[in-house]
Structure 1
Amino acid sequence: MKWSEQVWSRIEKDYQSILKMPFITELADGSLPKNKFQFYMAQDSIYLEHFGRALALVGARAHDIKDALSFMGFAANAIVVENALHESYFVDFGVTDKGKIEPACHHYVHFLKSTTALDAVEVGMAAVLPCFWIYQRVGDHIYKNSKAENNPYQKWINTYSGEEFGVAVQQAIMSCDEVAAKTTSVIRDKMTEAFVASTLLEYNFWQAAYDLKMWR
């Protein structure tokens, strides 16, 4: 069994919990309050800036040139392409200032940057994978199950359920499987720990948006 198959089985219950979150279900039917989505978009924009740097660190440290090119490309996409999407949302939803980084985002990005900088590069690759994989799975789920017409969040749904994003996700999964197969059992265990931690941080990020969780 591939590492990716093993690790997904570890977080399947967490993933199912994500699908049942009010933020996700209300996003799917279009009833999510505007202020919660505004908070989410502002924090996600901040997150992507740091996520792009974490991806660039993985690319710089990757042993295989193919992985280096892939993760540097992912970094450029996170910072440039997806940030442009958020800029259009800022106009659509009247977000004029993304504000400061709040607790859930702060925790997540510092975990990613410290892991990609200081742990084995294989562990860093595993840490950034849930942001690809879970977002894609959630986007696909919403796209297939949403019955709302004129959903104000349809652009987000289309982005994370699109074919282009799916290709990037599969590339990231394949890279993780390849390095996992070549590394030690100790590093593989740390990869799994990092993947699980990032999955829980994904959950917390959405929950914090729904709760409008700020420092005070």
Structure 2
Amino acid sequence: MKWSEQTWIKSLPIYHKILDLPFITELMNGTLAKEKFLFYIQQDVIYLGEFGKVLAGIVVRLKKQSHAEAFMKFAADTIYVEGDLHESFLKQVGSSVTTEPSPSCLLYTGHMRQLLSSASVEATMAGVLPCFWIYKEVGDYILSNQTHNSDNPYQQWINTYGGADFEKAVTNAINICDELAQQCTNEQQQEMTDAFIRSAKLEWMFWNSAWNMEQWPI
């Protein structure tokens, strides 16, 4: 069994809890309050700014040119494709990006920066993988379980992460991680798995924080 297959099985309880979040349920049926979605978009803009930097940091550490080129494209898509998506929603409501990250957003971005600065490149790649993989799975789940989508105000977001183009990028990222994992020791593979699981938990926290419109307690 591939590293990715083993790790996904271990992360399934977290993934199922993500699907159970009211944020995801209401996003799927189009009833999510606009202020909650706007909060999510504003925080995601902050998150993706840091995520793109981490992807760029991974690029310079990769030895194989095809791997580096793939992660370079991931970084570019994060900046341009997802950036345009977020900007379109912000324009619709006439809002701008909040300047302060929520506690969960800061925790997640700090986790990724910590991996980039002190973990192996393999573990760092595993740590960014949930942002690709879980988003794809959530997008696919929503598309498969929607009963009415013609009037869903969030359908553009759903289609982006449930589409074929995004699936190709996710599959490529998974395959690269598997290729590098094959060259790792059991201990190094465990480090990759730990990084993935922690990021998966932070994905849950990020969406849950959007539902609660999380603020700093003091």
> Which category of TM-score, normalised to the shorter sequence, fits these structures?
over 0.9
Name the residue aligned to 1:4.
4
Partners of 1:96 and 1:122 in 2: how far apart? 36
Matches within 5 A, 1:29-178: 29-148=29-148, 149-178=150-179
User: How many residues are treated as equivalent by the alignment?
Assistant: 216
Aligned residue for 2:199? 198
| 1:126 maps to amino acid | A
Indicate the percent of aligned positions where both proteins have the same amino acid.
45
Note if contact 1:122-1:180 (Cα within 8 Å) is conserved in structure 2: yes
Q: CA deviation at 1:99?
A: 2.9
Are the equivalent residues in 1 in contact too, given 2:11–2:197 (CA < 8 A)? yes
Q: Which amino acid aligns with 1:67?
A: H
Higher mean C-alpha deviation, range 146-155 or range 195-204: 146-155
- Displacement of 1:117 in angstroms is 2.6
What is the root-mean-square deviation in Å for CA atoms of aligned residues?
Answer: 0.9
Deviation at 1:17, TM superposition (A): 0.9
Deviations along 1:153-206, one digit per CA (max 9) or x if unpaired, are 000000000111000000000000000001111110000000000000000000
Aligned mates of 1:97, 1:192 — CA distance in 2: 33
Q: Which position in structure 1 is the counterpart of 2:212?
A: 211
Q: Structure 2 CA distance, aligned partners of 1:91 and 1:186?
A: 47
Provide the secondary structure at the position in 1 that maps to 2:182. helix
Give the AA of the match of 2:163: G
* Secondary structure of 2:63's aligned partner: coil
Aligned-residue offset at 1:92: 1.4
Q: Does 1:181 align with 2:182?
A: yes
Shift of 1:63: 2.2
Instruction: Report if aligned partners of 1:45, 1:98 keep a CA contact under 8 Å in 2.
Output: no
What TM-score does the superposition give when structure 2 sets the normalisation length? Answer: 0.97
Q: Deviations over 1:66-120 (max 9, x none)?
A: 1111111101111122111111110113323333111111000111111023210
Q: Structure 2: how far apart are the matches of 1:39 and 1:123? A: 30
The amino acid of 1:182's aligned partner reads Q
Counterparts of 1:80 and 1:38 in 2: how far apart (Å)?
19
Tell me how far apart the structure 2 counterparts of residues 113 and 8 of structure 1 sit (CA, whole Å): 23
Q: Residue 23 of structure 1 aligns with which residue?
A: 23
Please, which runs of 5 or more residues in structure 1 have no aligned partner?
A: none
Mapped to 2, the partners of 1:108 and 1:32 lie a distance apart of 23
Structure 2 residue ranges without an equivalent (≥5):
none
CA distance in 1: counterparts of 2:112 and 2:105, whole angstroms: 11
What is the TM-score when the length of structure 1 is the normalising length?
A: 0.97
Q: Deviations over 1:115-150 (max 9, x none)?
A: 023210000010000000000000000011111340
The letter of the residue matching 1:105 is C
CA distance in 2, matches of 1:99, 1:184: 42
Cα distance in 2 for residues equivalent to 1:211 and 1:179: 38
Task: For 1:99 and 1:154, locate their aligned partners in 2 and report how far apart those are by CA, in whole Å.
Answer: 26
Runs (4+) of structure 1 moved beyond 4 Å?
Answer: none
